[in-house]
Amino acid sequence: MTAIKFCGITREEDATLAAELGAAAVGLVLWPGSPRAVAPARARRVVDGLPPFVTPVAVLVSPTADDVRRVVESVGVRVVQVHGAVDLETLIDGGWTIVRATSLAGGPAAARAIDPRVTVLLDAHDPARHGGTGTTIDWTAAAGVARARRVILAGGLRPDNVAQAIAEVRPYGVDVASGVEVAPGVKDAARMRAFAAAVRAAETEGRTTA
């Protein structure tokens, strides 16, 4: 099954709906530069309200190991998604589960070469906003990475294109933020339901045609 991650969650009701829709994870942006940034105290409330089989993911930009440690302890997350410049080896050695967000700007080979101990999240290249841009990426290039390692596909996914993205890339998971929003950090329930339904329909189609 294709894992679904609803990212940029700022409201408890959106996290609750994500869980009801079978999401594997919800993303909480702890980077103050994001329009979807959430304060640690609110993030903790969201995390505390999640059922045990939905994974909360803290999204950080260029964090040090100390930054990650503070977030893990204060928010109660199990997984950390990192953007920007990081010492990946140090973060891995900290014992946390790391998702490394990257673009295809350096080519598919660079993404394939990232430390195999982490999961790669492929997103659009934007060194200022670090995700949530609504811009799609090259799915053909992404498929080349997904054939070699576990990949979470992000970048401009919406209810009307996620099935095609899954068919072309065959990712481990898909990540959506702006594609199900009415405003940054405010999810639309109907779009969330449509997105989850499209993912499940793509899986059914894939089994039928395999």
Active-site residues: which are they?
7, 123
Q: Which pair of tokens denotes residue 90?
A: 């140090």
Helix (H) or strand (E) holding 193: helix 189-209
Backbone angles phi, psi at 136, to 5 degrees: -75, 160
- Neighbouring CB atoms inside 10 A of 101's CB total 22
Partners of 79 in the beta sheet?
57, 97
CA torsion angle for 74, 4, 32, 37 (degrees, to 10)? -90
Q: Amino acid identity of 84?
A: G
